[in-house]
């Protein structure tokens, strides 16, 4: 029987420079998609996949993120007093149990690989998930849950993979595919941010991973990779060289890059249109501006 994946690392220590000046004081992960912070979507997805321990890798200036997970008894009491049952339920559904959540500090933004490595003592010798909250995935079955189900069959390391056109490959880690078995592909190499002509496939890695502890040992030994940062991709690729299997998983769902402004705006529209209470009004507005634009052409 495979060991269950019950721990997830959420690296949230990045500087979020693409959202300056907002990220001077607001952590990117707390920015709201409709009415929920990005991090709440990540927590909900992890819970649906069976995660019981939530490990955040934070940094200086992320206090608002830690505060978000505190219970709010005064606010709850006020909502109860005013009989706002629905709001109360929404608020309570975000509560974390004591001891469920842990924070470790990344003292310097040395890259995603380094951020994951900072959580090594809380992982010990078991498989774990990594979720990047700025990759938001709209899916019928949450992406990490799909991956956990695949992991139960394959074991090894699994990375979420998405098809991208060659000119976009340079923004991602790209898989060198050994065998394509449908949603799951076995991987013989990974290249971080390749040039379009050097991308080994059209399968890019996005922010969901199930990893074995040997990746943490690889991170122990890592030198600095592309861009002077310690890359998680390099540590996973090193596992292939050590003879440990790595799989790509083509998830079913739509991924939004909420680390970029355009992606964040697209996600906002998509998530708002999926909401009964907002769809009609937003749709009408979008139609109006499209009509005005067409008329102007
Ligand atoms: P990004 O590449 O989006 O970097 O990190 P960033 O700092 O968040 O944002 P920009 O590029 O400056 O706008 C991807 C994920 O890895 C985490 C980030 O918090 C984000 O969740 N990360 C990145 C760390 O935790 N530590 C790092 O040193 C780098």
- pLDDT tens-digit profile of 258-273? 999 999 999 999 999 9
* Pair 137, 43: CB distance under 8 Å: no
* Pair 18, 261: CB distance under 8 Å: yes
- Residue 196 has a pLDDT of 86
> CB under 8 Å to 291, separation ≥6 — which residues?
none
Residue bearing the CA closest to ligand 1, atom 3: 259
Q: Comparing C-alpha atoms, which of 44, 210, 207, 206 is closest to residue 128? A: 210
pLDDT confidence bin for 277, thresholds 50/70/90: very high
Q: What is the pLDDT of residues 165-195, one digit of tens each?
A: 988 999 999 999 999 998 999 999 999 889 9
Domains of the chain, CATH where assigned: 7-259 (3.90.550.10)
* C-alpha 294 – ligand 1 centre gap (Å): 38
Candidate from 103, 192, 259 with most ligand 1 atoms within 8 A of CB, to mutate: 259
* Pair 174, 205: CB distance under 8 Å: yes
pLDDT confidence bin for 223, thresholds 50/70/90: low
Residue 224 in this model has a pLDDT that exceeds 80: no
Give how far the C-alpha of residue 206 lies from the chain's centroid of Cα atoms, to the nearest Å. 8
Instruction: Specify the pTM.
Output: 0.94
Rg (CA), the chain: 20
Q: With a 6 A CB cut-off, is 16 part of the ligand 1 pocket?
A: yes
* C-alpha 135 – ligand 1 centre gap (Å): 11
Region 22-45: mean pLDDT is: 94
Q: Which of 51-55, 73-77, 291-295 has the lowest mean pLDDT?
A: 291-295
Q: With a 6 A CB cut-off, is 113 part of the ligand 1 pocket?
A: no
Q: With a 6 A CB cut-off, is 110 part of the ligand 1 pocket?
A: yes
Residue 61 in this model has a pLDDT that exceeds 90: no
Region 28-43: mean pLDDT is: 95
Region 57-85: mean pLDDT is: 91
Region 127-136: mean pLDDT is: 97
- Residue 114 has a pLDDT of 94
Residue bearing the CA closest to ligand 1, atom 15: 132
Computed over every residue of the chain, the mean pLDDT equals 93
**Residues linked to residue 160 through DSSP beta bridges, in sequence order:** 249
Which atom of ligand 1 lies at the shortest distance from residue 229's CA? 28
Q: With a 6 A CB cut-off, is 57 part of the ligand 1 pocket?
A: yes
pLDDT confidence bin for 10, thresholds 50/70/90: very high
* C-alpha 13 – ligand 1 centre gap (Å): 6
pLDDT confidence bin for 226, thresholds 50/70/90: low
- DSSP single-letter state for residue 77: H
pLDDT confidence bin for 296, thresholds 50/70/90: confident
- Residue 236 has a pLDDT of 94
pLDDT confidence bin for 2, thresholds 50/70/90: confident
> C-alpha angle 151/152/158, rounded to 5°?
5
- Residue 225 has a pLDDT of 57
Residue 202 has which token pair?
A: 């059209």
Candidate from 9, 12, 14, 129 with most ligand 1 atoms within 8 A of CB, to mutate: 14
Q: With a 6 A CB cut-off, is 158 part of the ligand 1 pocket?
A: no
Using the CB atoms, write b or e for 113-137: b if 16+ within 10 Å: bbbbbbbbeebeeebbbbbbbbbbb
Q: Which of 167-176, 233-242, 286-295 has the lowest mean pLDDT?
A: 286-295
Residue 134 has which token pair?
A: 């700025």
């Amino acid at each position: 029987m495979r060991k269950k994946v019950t721990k997830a690392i959420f690296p949230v220590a990045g500087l979020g420079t693409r959202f300056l000046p907002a990220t001077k004081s607001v952590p990117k992960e707390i920015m709201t998609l409709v009415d929920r912070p990005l991090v709440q979507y990540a927590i909900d997805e992890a819970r649906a996949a069976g995660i019981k321990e939530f490990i955040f890798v934070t940094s200086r200036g992320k206090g608002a993120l830690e505060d978000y997970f505190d219970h709010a008894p005064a606010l709850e009491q006020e909502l109860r007093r005013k009989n706002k049952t629905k709001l109360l339920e929404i608020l309570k559904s975000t509560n974390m149990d004591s001891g469920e959540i842990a924070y470790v500090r990344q003292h310097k933004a040395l890259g995603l690989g380094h951020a994951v490595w900072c959580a090594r003592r809380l992982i010990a010798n078991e498989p774990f998930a990594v979720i990047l909250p700025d990759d938001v995935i709209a899916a019928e079955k949450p992406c990490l849950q799909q991956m956990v189900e695949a992991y139960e069959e394959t074991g090894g390391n699994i990375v979420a993979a998405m098809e991208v056109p060659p000119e976009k490959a340079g923004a991602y880690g790209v898989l060198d595919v050994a065998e394509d078995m449908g949603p799951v592909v076995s991987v013989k190499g990974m290249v971080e941010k390749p040039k379009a002509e050097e991308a080994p496939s059209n399968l890019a890695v996005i922010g969901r991973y199930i990893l074995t502890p040997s990746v943490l040992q690889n991170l122990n030994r890592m030198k600095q990779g592309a861009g002077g940062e310690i890359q998680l991709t390099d540590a996973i690729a090193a596992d292939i060289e050590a003879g440990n299997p790595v799989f790509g998983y083509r998830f079913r769902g739509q991924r939004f890059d909420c680390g970029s402004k355009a992606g964040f705006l697209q996600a906002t529209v998509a998530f708002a249109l999926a909401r009964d209470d907002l769809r009609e009004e937003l749709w009408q507005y979008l139609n109006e501006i499209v009509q005005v634009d067409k008329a102007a052409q």
